């Protein structure tokens, strides 16, 4: 390269002189050549340096000759401008509105832009990007969210220590102090706390009576969960609380699993357990106690076929029927739910294989004391009530009658609208679960009845009631219920088909 040691300026000058001489030599007369020189002066000045050899102008090996970023950029701009010209005209007002929308969106992103990566719950797109990188007015500093750590939590449960949460659960289990689940001993002398920090605060107790009797159980020791439906659960206490809370909120298990950050099968199993406990703990006591009380009876039909392998039943079936109308039975995939309520009191619901006098008579006789007022619609299955010793009144829906004033005081007391109103709450609740198998329908109806009778309680109290119900299941039923919840035998818990 040392052969070309001339400076570029000197070479430019030399080249211009050569071109001038060349043009003068080619032209016919000098004056014309002067004009030509003047005209092509600008071109010459531009072109001359390009003609000169320069080390930078020589393309390296392997580089595309025609690749020119500057020209490509110009070409892109030209293409964009011509495309833009071809677009339909947009009014100034519309353009302003679009601009404002973009600015508003950017501003909002800058306010709620968390810096931390979230493990659960929030979508990924919100946690990265945003204004931090390319903001308005050239803001390049990363935006730090002061609540980033808080946003990674799942609610109030993550605010409390595990031992505090266990303490609430233990208090629900033993409201009057620890009781040995094996022998029922509760004397503080014989039952003492062995290990307080077992499972981060659940605790393990020792029963001297069982230990001396050589009880094989757990060597005379027990935890508050021993002998309950929650025995052997591997869920940590925070997740357990969260699942029970979402259950008390009547959410579907898939949604609850996302909320709690666990597998959906885990949430589903827990929910089945809670539902089975509620079904098991239903009361069989009468709710209408005498002539002073008023009972309303009605029935509704829920479309529910077989679904999946529910109840261990084979899938050799036709497609599920949809859009069924009118009354139905277990066989026609439109199950009757019989409802009975005491005005100002509780509701009891029963899923039946069919609605006949023979099916509902034992239920009414068990739940309603003789002599009570019973109001129904005109369905013939209720005709037995007058002979059975009840003050039966009928509202004739087919004649357009929905309420009747018996004693002429202006108060229309004969109606079954309270019961019919209940159905308008049952239907949307069942719809939450997007198609319930008819095998499990009684469980869902029992769950609805449980929460409907507590509809005036607050959410916290409903959660406590669920846990209390779980712990109230008798020790002898627990093992049976647990095996059925695990397997396909759940249908045996609530046999509808008889």
Applying CB under 5 A, the residues found at the interface with Zn ion are 180, 182-183, 185, 207, 209-210
Three-state helix/strand/coil letters over 457-497: CCHHHHHHHHHHHHHHCCHHHHHHHHHHHHCCHHHHCCCCC
- The nearest distance, CB 230 to Zn ion, in angstroms, is 20
Residue with Cβ nearer Zn ion (207 or 297)? 207
- The nearest distance, CB 189 to Zn ion, in angstroms, is 12
Distance CA 16, CA 196 (A): 99
Residue with Cβ nearer Zn ion (215 or 268)? 215
- The nearest distance, CB 215 to Zn ion, in angstroms, is 7
- The nearest distance, CB 180 to Zn ion, in angstroms, is 3
Determine the longest span between alpha carbons in the chain, in angstroms.
138
- The nearest distance, CB 213 to Zn ion, in angstroms, is 8
- The nearest distance, CB 222 to Zn ion, in angstroms, is 7
Contact 405, 413 (CB under 8 A): yes
Residue with Cβ nearer Zn ion (183 or 381)? 183
- The nearest distance, CB 210 to Zn ion, in angstroms, is 3
- Name the strands in the sheet holding 391-395, side by side, starting at the edge strand that comes first in the sequence: 347-351, 334-342, 294-303, 373-377, 391-395
Residue with Cβ nearer Zn ion (79 or 195)? 195
C-alpha of 218 from chain center: 39
- The nearest distance, CB 120 to Zn ion, in angstroms, is 41
Residue with Cβ nearer Zn ion (157 or 207)? 207
Residue with Cβ nearer Zn ion (217 or 371)? 217
Residue with Cβ nearer Zn ion (181 or 305)? 181
* Residue 16 neighbours by CB distance under 10 Å: 15
Residue with Cβ nearer Zn ion (177 or 261)? 177
Distance CA 394, CA 374 (A): 9
Distance CA 248, CA 210 (A): 37
Query: 431-441 burial string, b = 16+ CB within 10 Å, else e?
Result: eebeebbbbbb
Distance CA 320, CA 165 (A): 44
Question: Which residues is 404 bridged to in the sheet?
Answer: 414
Residue with Cβ nearer Zn ion (209 or 363)? 209
Residue with Cβ nearer Zn ion (224 or 442)? 224
Contact 209, 180 (CB under 8 A): yes
- The nearest distance, CB 173 to Zn ion, in angstroms, is 16
Distance CA 234, CA 243 (A): 13
- The nearest distance, CB 203 to Zn ion, in angstroms, is 16
Distance CA 4, CA 243 (A): 83
The helix/strand/coil state of 374 is: strand
Q: Kindly report the CA angle at 260 between 256 and 265, in degrees rounded to 5? A: 60
Which residues are within 8 A (CB) of 332 and not within 5 positions of it... i.e. 6 or more apart? 321, 324
Residue with Cβ nearer Zn ion (45 or 213)? 213
- The nearest distance, CB 217 to Zn ion, in angstroms, is 8
Question: Which residues is 374 bridged to in the sheet?
Answer: 295, 392
Closest C-alpha to 300, from 334, 344, 250, 266? 334
């Amino acid at each position: 390269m040392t052969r070309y040691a001339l400076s570029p300026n000197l070479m430019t000058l030399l080249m211009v002189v050569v071109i001038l001489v060349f043009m003068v030599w080619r032209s016919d007369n000098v004056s014309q050549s002067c004009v030509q020189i003047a005209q092509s002066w600008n071109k010459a000045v531009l072109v001359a340096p390009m003609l000169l050899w320069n080390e930078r102008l020589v393309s390296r090996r392997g580089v595309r000759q025609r690749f020119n970023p500057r020209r490509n950029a110009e070409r892109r701009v030209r293409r964009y401008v011509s495309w833009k010209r071809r677009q339909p005209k947009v009014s100034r007002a519309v353009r302003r509105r679009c601009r404002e929308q973009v600015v508003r969106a950017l501003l909002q992103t800058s306010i709620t832009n968390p810096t931390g990566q979230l493990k659960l719950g929030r979508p990924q797109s919100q946690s990265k990007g945003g204004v931090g990188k390319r903001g308005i007015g050239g803001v390049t500093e990363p935006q730090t969210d002061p609540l980033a750590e808080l946003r990674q939590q799942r609610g109030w449960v993550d605010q409390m220590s595990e031992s505090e949460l266990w303490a609430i659960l233990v208090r629900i289990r033993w409201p009057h102090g620890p009781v040995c689940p094996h022998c029922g001993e509760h004397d503080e002398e014989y039952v003492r706390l062995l290990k307080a920090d077992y499972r981060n605060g659940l605790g393990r107790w020792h029963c001297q009576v069982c230990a001396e009797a050589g009880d094989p159980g757990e060597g005379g020791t027990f935890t508050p969960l021993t002998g309950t439906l929650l025995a052997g659960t591997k869920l940590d206490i925070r997740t357990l609380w969260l699942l029970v809370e979402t259950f008390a909120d009547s959410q579907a298990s898939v949604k609850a699993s996302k909320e709690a950050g666990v597998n959906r099968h885990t949430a589903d199993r827990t929910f089945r357990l809670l539902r089975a406990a509620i079904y098991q703990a239903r009361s069989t006591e009468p709710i209408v106690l005498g002539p002073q009380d008023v009972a309303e009876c009605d029935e509704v039909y829920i479309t529910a076929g077989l679904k999946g392998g529910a109840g261990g039943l084979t899938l050799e079936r036709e497609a599920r029927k949809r859009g069924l109308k009118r009354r139905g039975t277990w066989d026609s995939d439109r199950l009757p739910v019989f409802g009975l309520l005491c005005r100002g009191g509780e509701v009891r619901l029963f899923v039946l294989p069919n609605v006949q006098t023979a099916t509902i008579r034992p239920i009414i006789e068990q739940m309603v004391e003789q002599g009570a007022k019973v109001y129904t619609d005109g369905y013939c299955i209720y005709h037995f009530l007058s002979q059975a010793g009840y003050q039966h009144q009928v509202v004739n829906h087919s004649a357009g009658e929905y309420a009747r004033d018996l004693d002429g005081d202006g108060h229309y007391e004969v109606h079954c609208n309270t019961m019919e109103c209940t159905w308008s709450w049952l239907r949307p609740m069942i719809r939450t679960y997007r198609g319930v198998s008819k095998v499990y329908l009684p469980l869902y109806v029992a769950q609805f009845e449980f929460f409907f009778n507590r509809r005036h309680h607050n959410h916290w109290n409903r959660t406590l009631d669920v846990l209390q119900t779980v712990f109230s299941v008798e020790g002898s039923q627990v093992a049976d219920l647990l095996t059925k919840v695990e397997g396909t035998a759940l249908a045996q818990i609530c046999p509808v088909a008889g």
